[in-house]
Amino acid sequence: MFVRPTTIVSRRLSICKEGEVVDIKHDVRQLLNELDQIAMSQSAYDTAWVARVPENGDRTCPAFPETIDWLRRNQYPDGSWGSNVKYYHDRIISTLAAIIALSEQGERSVDVKSIRRGQTYIHENIRYLHHDPCETVGFELILPTLLDKAQRLGLDLPYDRCSRYNRIREQKLHSIPRQLIFSRKVTTTHSLEFMGDGLQVEQTADLQEENGSFGNSPSATAYFSAEYGDNPAARKYLSEAVAVGGGAAVPAHPVEIFSKCWVLYNLDLAGLLDEVSDEARPHLNYLHEAWNPQRGVGFSKQYSVPDLDDTAVAFKLLSRSRYAVDPSVFDFYERDNHFVCYPYERNPSIGAHIHLLDALHMCPDDKHQSRMRSKALDFYRTQLYKAYWFDKWHVSPYYLLSHAVIATVGHDNELAREGVQWILDTQREDGTWGYFFATCEETAYCLHALITYHQCVKPMDRTVFYHAAQYLYRQYLSQYHPALWIEKCLYTPLHIVRAAILGALWMYENL
């Protein structure tokens, strides 16, 4: 069985850029030392929900007036709110939430034009939802609830055009046992705001996490606080979520396991973990302490729902670092012909299957490994061309495809070759990659995949690497990283993106 090399001996630790020295290892150490600090982009959608929370039940007085001011400052010229990438699900749901918030808690004389422009944007762009490859998280549950609220507020919106989401919502809810909808053990709590006026306070007894949140979601927690009165624990949680977002809410909080997993994953792909073992060890210890032998991990210790994606990545990292973890943990996620990322999900995640494949490299002698590998590979093959390499957690095909190349090397090199060819065929003239436009994040992912293939399967033309790396060096100090990750809105997990870039440059410097 193929085993990927874990450490590359560095021949060059730094390179000059515009008169400055870029020391990759130094910057990786700094990143790991700062990893427990929150570094996530702001969410217009969640901020709009927090803006609707009243102070002590007084509907005329917002509990977080800074969020109203943030919404006023962050409307785009076209009338929408949302991320810095034009993605229709994100812009529609964020704009709808924002105009509802301004209608409820804003001042008519100040906000009427903003609300009107938001309505116009939705009228003109609702028909483009099908252009997006994936929905945002909970979209099919949340959109009908927001539209119902907007209609009761008298907002002028294309209600008839959205009626099909009522049917999709009912199909989704029908797949979940009724008693589990009101449990923090399933993902519906993360999108609790979809309940609208249909939630009874007695049904919330088992929904709140110990940190005061509902599903570690500012929007879900704000919904509860707005609809069901003051809850000190929820209020404290919202205050923190707005504080870490600098006056606006972040899309999920906390997400420390997710952040640690994916930062370490990107560094591991580059062979960097052994180089910075002292700084990485506390984070690996944290993952091991959070590990549940039957279900793995979720995106936070403070979130009650585990998932296959984080579990697979944590398994790989912990196995690589010689912690005791057993692949039987994946039994919890196995179904007849695929694996689930979360129980009762409507669409399986291709990415979770890819990361499972990568994790299975770590246990070639396990008696169940062959079955799980075949099932994950079969699912990936059947979805490959149908899904065009898109996944439900990231809007860029390069994220999924690059990870697929890395995971299938050693399992199915021909499948890896197909992915490599597509990456090569779509490289831009300046050496970059990007689905909407060139980005450092997507370029880094493609470098990860191509260099892995070059080292482990077949040598490639190094000029491909050179042009991509030169772009990353030129952009090295840039703080602009577009929102490509999918939550209820699009967002940027800045630590993770930074780790991907550092890992790609380390791989290039050590070719």
pLDDT in tens, the chain (511 residues): 233 333 333 334 344 445 566 799 999 999 999 999 999 999 999 999 999 999 987 777 899 999 999 999 999 999 999 999 999 999 999 999 999 999 999 888 899 999 999 999 999 999 999 999 889 999 999 999 999 999 999 999 999 888 888 888 888 777 777 777 788 888 889 999 999 988 888 888 889 999 999 999 999 999 999 988 779 999 999 999 999 999 999 999 999 999 999 999 999 999 999 999 999 999 999 999 999 999 999 999 999 999 999 999 999 999 999 999 999 999 999 999 999 999 888 788 999 999 999 999 999 887 888 899 999 999 988 887 665 578 889 999 999 999 999 999 988 999 999 999 999 999 999 999 999 999 999 999 999 999 999 999 999 999 999 999 999 999 988 889 999 999 999 999 999 999 999 999 999 999 9
Predicted local confidence at residue 496, as pLDDT? 98
Matching residue, tokens 């599903």: 215
Domain limits, the chain: 14-39+255-509, 44-244
Matching residue, tokens 């205050």: 239
Predicted local confidence at residue 30, as pLDDT? 97
DSSP string for residues in 270-309: TT-TGGGHHHHHHHHHHHHHH-BTTTB--S-TT-S---HH
Region of 431 on the Ramachandran plot (φ > 0 left; ψ -120 to 50 alpha; else beta): left
Topology adopted by domain 44-244: Glycosyltransferase (1.50.10)
Predicted local confidence at residue 12, as pLDDT? 41
CA distance 342 to 52: 30
Both tokens assigned to 255: 């997400």
Predicted local confidence at residue 320, as pLDDT? 95
Predicted local confidence at residue 218, as pLDDT? 98
Angle at 75 between CA 73 and CA 80, to 5 degrees: 170
- Beta carbons within 8 Å of 172's beta carbon, 6+ residues apart: 140, 141, 346
44-244 matches 14-39+255-509 in CATH topology? yes
Predicted local confidence at residue 19, as pLDDT? 52
Predicted local confidence at residue 15, as pLDDT? 47
Selection from 454, 445, 429 nearest residue 510 by Cα: 454
Predicted local confidence at residue 170, as pLDDT? 83
pTM: 0.93
Region of 416 on the Ramachandran plot (φ > 0 left; ψ -120 to 50 alpha; else beta): alpha
- Per residue, the 3-state secondary structure of 168-236, as one string, reads HHHHHHHCCCHHHHCCCCCHHHHHHHHHHHHCCHHHHCCCECCCCCECCEHHHHHHHHHHHCCCHHHHH
Which one of 3.40.50.150, 3.40.50.2300, 1.50.10.130, 2.60.120.200 gives the CATH number of domain 14-39+255-509? 1.50.10.130
Predicted local confidence at residue 16, as pLDDT? 43
